[in-house]
Chain A
Amino acid sequence: MLGWEFPPLISGGLGVACQGIARGLAQEGVKITLLVPRYYSNPPKFLKLVSAEKILSHQPSQAIDISELLPLGSAYISPEDYENWYKKALASGSTIALLYGPTLFYEVEKFAKASEIVASKVKFDIIHCHDWMTYKAGMSAKKVSGVPLVAHVHSIENDRSPFCNPKISEIEKFGLENADLVLCVSKYTMNRVKQVYGIPENKMAVAYNGIELNCGAPLVKKPKKKRLNQALFFGRITWQKGPDYFIETAKKMLKQRSNLRFVLAGWGDKAVPLIEYVANLRLGNKILFAGFLNERELKALLHNSDVFLVTSISEPFGLVALEGLSQGVPAVISKQSGISEILTSIPSADYWDTEKFAQYAFELIDNPELGKNQIQEIWPVLKKTSWSNNGKTILSYYQKILGN
């Protein structure tokens, strides 16, 4: 398996998904060797973890402060941001700059080289890679070993950015064309891959991500008399997540009543312009920016909220919806998200239809029973949406392409 990041050294959801998929497969008895660009923590027991950095340097890596690595920002950092980051790191004398190449593409090539070395030494039946950064590595491993290649699509370049990087799209297209099986995190994503890259449907399959519920039954919120209702947006504040549609919805709802509080939790490249936009609307006392929150804080904030909105413009899967629902908070979600395929009983609207978002949000706020029923109804679905079910599904696809 080829991954770009792995907990605890993660910058976003990709690392978490990679861990979940690997664990689910391991539960099914699949033996996994996972190659990642670098890794410094105690490796997990359920797989063999190999660091590309070690493979390439043939040296044990020195102790490195993990916190130094986090400023990379996102697994999907843009090439421009990457170069800026690299220059800053180099200028600040950070040791980490020496581990990375000057461009993201250089990193990708290096990773492919490491994959080739590992593939020539380790025996395996299948290659499984995650998103474009690892596609070249997948192809080079396939070339050496001749075994089938599975490309797992967590997102595509068109979904991540309104300004597609042509070089990334090219790598993405080439990788998907060369894969024996393209696994998508939703039907929505599968359609996008077909639409954008022309990959035939018979080479594709869907494996929904999972979530670990940490309690057997939905949390029952204590009934609290409130003078004010709160609606939440959480996740990265970037174009893809549609935070501006959350604000447009808030605007509409605030026109109807004032005892509402809207909170955006998280940060991203759209945060500063949106803060200024809210100020321009003179709604800064109603639409609050919480900044980046840790997991504990986010849970507490969810428990204070009456409803949360997922307004993504294009969301291959949409883990935030599962995270929020698993905390017992009702949701309205965008139709342009993979998750809406599973969560069929959750009210959904096109991301631009802020009228509908507002209407559904009001219904949930005004009728707490409705929200409670929503959670009760969705709970069995959440239970089924587990990493172990994801592992079972993926294993069945493995067996299919291996012909047994």
Chain B
Amino acid sequence: MKTVCFYFQVHQPYRMRNYHILDIENNHSYFDEEQNRAIIKKVSEKCYLPANQIIYELIQQTQGRFRVAYSISGVALEQLERFYPAVIESFQRLAQTGAVEFLAESYYHSLAIIFSPGEFREQVYKHLETLNRLFGIKPTTFRNTELAYHDYLAQQIEQMGFKAVLAEGVDWLVGENGSGKLYKASGTNNVKVLLRHYRLSDDIAFRFSSSKWQEYPLYADKWASWVRATPGPLVNIFIDYETFGEHHWESSGIFSFLKYLPQVLLSSPEIEILTPAEIANKYEPMGEFAPPHWISWADTERDLSAWLGNDMQRDAMERLYQLESRIKASQDAGLIEDWRKLTTSDHFYYMSTKHAGDAEVHNYFNPHQGAHFAYTTFMRILNDIEARLNLS
């Protein structure tokens, strides 16, 4: 028996506006309402709504044999509630099918775990509250921002009551087919680790619409045959949900691919589809997962260098967390909320100066005119935050 697991990441940051030097001490709105609203509307219509509809139908058609997991960041949920509540409703409908698991993450999609375990916990609890309010659920599986993972993370979330965690299946740690097994997180009593099969995931997430790819065009049956040929009991497909309709447009055939997927997979009796929590219940760990440093699913390095790779990123992140205790001591709810929105990892991703292939990825996601612009804008905002602190 082979178990396939699908988890989709839904995230939209509060993108910063071009915060002007003269705004400091005059204007405390840091985020581009108009742009954020427009992006939520666009992505909702191109991806979230049609993809949710397809997945709902697939669950119905297969009587729940097709199952998926979502991790929806708190800031994404918040923006969807404000700008496009129909998407929330369609996720609620999916939640009611019983075939969908929702994962927990840090509300602000931050890397708080690296800088402040206390803040990390508060952000996770806020996410749990939101999931409970919207979907009436209590997740037992955790996924950290960008799959950033280290033993320390697993230990922290075990204390918070989580049973399983997701991570990247890095070759140099577990070997080429290592993601096919379930692991126990090193340093924990019994946290189970599901590892992403990055090749099969990226076939869909990145290569699907690349006409230069030798396997182009990718049809569901071809991809399913690769799944069947993959060694190990597990095949974990972890991808950004925006893959459907946003990163690959509808015209690429990505929705047809999704529609045929359950059919071609489940036609083999030896394949089942389960969600992460179900896998953690069903399987016993076959090894221990112990990366020597922080890993993630980003870039070719699979480390934190996409967010902390240069001085600008480190300065911005360090200066931000340096303010934490004073921010919290202020008890100014608006100030605390603004500060937390700045912890979102995307702001630091925009400051990356990596080149070559990865740089293209960065540029695609970048709403500013480059890394230096992102950094100087962020620091102007931070300076205003500090000025507000000094007044309170």
Partner-B contacts on A (CB < 8 A): 227-228, 259, 261, 263, 265, 271-272, 275-276, 278-280, 282-286, 288-291, 293, 297, 300-301, 304
A227 vs B20: C-alpha distance in the bound complex, in angstroms?
A: 20
Given A228, A276, A280, A285, which contacts B319 in the complex, CB threshold below 8 Å? A285
B250 sits at the interface (CB 8 A): no
| List of B residues within 8 angstroms of A278 by Cβ | 315
Q: How far is the CB of A285 from chain B (nearest CB, A)?
A: 4
| List of B residues within 8 angstroms of A304 by Cβ | 22
| List of A residues within 8 angstroms of B319 by Cβ | 282, 284-285
B380, A279: Cβ atoms closer than 8 Å: no
Stretch of B125-133, B193-201, B251-259, B371-379 with 4 or more beta carbons under 8 angstroms from chain A: B371-379
Stretch of B82-90, B159-167, B171-179, B382-390 with 4 or more beta carbons under 8 angstroms from chain A: B382-390
A212 vs B314: C-alpha distance in the bound complex, in angstroms?
A: 45
Jot down 19 A-B pairs with beta carbons below 8 A, ordered by A.
A227-B391, A228-B387, A263-B21, A265-B21, A275-B372, A276-B311, A279-B311, A280-B315, A284-B375, A284-B376, A284-B382, A285-B383, A285-B386, A286-B383, A288-B383, A289-B376, A290-B380, A291-B376, A301-B21
* Interface footprint category on B: 20 to 34
B318 sits at the interface (CB 8 A): yes
User: Which residue of A has the minimal Cβ distance to B312?
Assistant: A279
Q: How far is the CB of A225 from chain B (nearest CB, A)?
A: 11
B316 sits at the interface (CB 8 A): yes
Given A275-B375, A282-B318, A285-B383, A293-B312 contact (CB < 8 Å)? no
The 4 closest A-B pairs by CB, nearest first: A290-B21, A279-B311, A279-B315, A279-B312
User: Which residue of B has the minimal Cβ distance to A283?
Assistant: B315
Q: Which of B262-314 contact A (CB under 8 A)?
A: 310-312, 314
| List of A residues within 8 angstroms of B316 by Cβ | 279, 284
Q: How far is the CB of A227 from chain B (nearest CB, A)?
A: 5
A280, B21: Cβ atoms closer than 8 Å: no
Interface of A is mostly: mixed
Number of A-B contacts (CB under 8 A): 72
Given A261-B383, A275-B375, A290-B21, A280-B311 contact (CB < 8 Å)? yes
Which of B314, B315, B373, B382 has the most chain A CB atoms closer than 10 A to its own CB? B315
| List of B residues within 8 angstroms of A284 by Cβ | 312, 315-316, 319, 375-376, 379, 382
User: Which residue of B has the minimal Cβ distance to A286?
Assistant: B383
A249 vs B376: C-alpha distance in the bound complex, in angstroms?
A: 20
Given B318, B376, B390, which contacts A275 in the complex, CB threshold below 8 Å? B376
Given A228-B387, A261-B383, A284-B375, A279-B310 contact (CB < 8 Å)? yes
A297, B315: Cβ atoms closer than 8 Å: no
Given A228-B387, A272-B372, A284-B316, A300-B22 contact (CB < 8 Å)? yes
A180 vs B376: C-alpha distance in the bound complex, in angstroms?
A: 50
A170 vs B122: C-alpha distance in the bound complex, in angstroms?
A: 68
Partner-A contacts on B (CB < 8 A): 20-22, 24, 310-312, 314-316, 318-319, 372-373, 375-376, 379-380, 382-383, 386-387, 390-391
Given A272, A282, A288, A291, which contacts B315 in the complex, CB threshold below 8 Å? A282
Q: How far is the CB of B320 from chain A (nearest CB, A)?
A: 9
A279, B314: Cβ atoms closer than 8 Å: yes
A21 vs B207: C-alpha distance in the bound complex, in angstroms?
A: 63
A228, B390: Cβ atoms closer than 8 Å: yes
Since A275-B312, A285-B379, A288-B379 are in contact, a sample of 6 more A-B pairs with Cβ atoms closer than 8 Å, ordered by chain A residue number, is: A261-B383, A276-B312, A290-B380, A291-B21, A291-B376, A297-B21
Which of A276, A285, A304 has the most chain B CB atoms closer than 10 A to its own CB? A285
B376, A297: Cβ atoms closer than 8 Å: no
Q: How far is the CB of A263 from chain B (nearest CB, A)?
A: 6
B391, A297: Cβ atoms closer than 8 Å: no
User: Which residue of B has the minimal Cβ distance to A291?
Assistant: B376
A288, B21: Cβ atoms closer than 8 Å: yes
A228 vs B388: C-alpha distance in the bound complex, in angstroms?
A: 12
| List of A residues within 8 angstroms of B383 by Cβ | 261, 285-286, 288
B22, A297: Cβ atoms closer than 8 Å: yes
A400 vs B141: C-alpha distance in the bound complex, in angstroms?
A: 90
Q: How far is the CB of B313 from chain A (nearest CB, A)?
A: 8
A290 vs B373: C-alpha distance in the bound complex, in angstroms?
A: 10
A301 vs B383: C-alpha distance in the bound complex, in angstroms?
A: 15
Given A275-B312, A275-B375, A279-B310, A288-B380 contact (CB < 8 Å)? yes
Q: How far is the CB of A298 from chain B (nearest CB, A)?
A: 10
A301, B22: Cβ atoms closer than 8 Å: yes
| List of A residues within 8 angstroms of B387 by Cβ | 227-228
| List of B residues within 8 angstroms of A289 by Cβ | 376, 379
Q: How far is the CB of B354 from chain A (nearest CB, A)?
A: 14
| List of B residues within 8 angstroms of A282 by Cβ | 311, 314-315, 318-319
User: Which residue of B has the minimal Cβ distance to A258?
Assistant: B386
Q: How far is the CB of B250 from chain A (nearest CB, A)?
A: 32
User: Which residue of B has the minimal Cβ distance to A290?
Assistant: B21
| List of B residues within 8 angstroms of A293 by Cβ | 21
A282 vs B380: C-alpha distance in the bound complex, in angstroms?
A: 14
| List of A residues within 8 angstroms of B390 by Cβ | 227-228, 259
Q: How far is the CB of B208 from chain A (nearest CB, A)?
A: 32
| List of B residues within 8 angstroms of A276 by Cβ | 310-312, 372
| List of B residues within 8 angstroms of A228 by Cβ | 387, 390
Q: How far is the CB of A287 from chain B (nearest CB, A)?
A: 9
| List of B residues within 8 angstroms of A300 by Cβ | 22
A276 vs B390: C-alpha distance in the bound complex, in angstroms?
A: 27
A288 vs B319: C-alpha distance in the bound complex, in angstroms?
A: 13
A191 vs B167: C-alpha distance in the bound complex, in angstroms?
A: 68
| List of B residues within 8 angstroms of A285 by Cβ | 315, 319, 379, 382-383, 386
Given A227, A288, A301, which contacts B376 in the complex, CB threshold below 8 Å? A288
User: Which residue of B has the minimal Cβ distance to A297?
Assistant: B22
| List of A residues within 8 angstroms of B386 by Cβ | 285
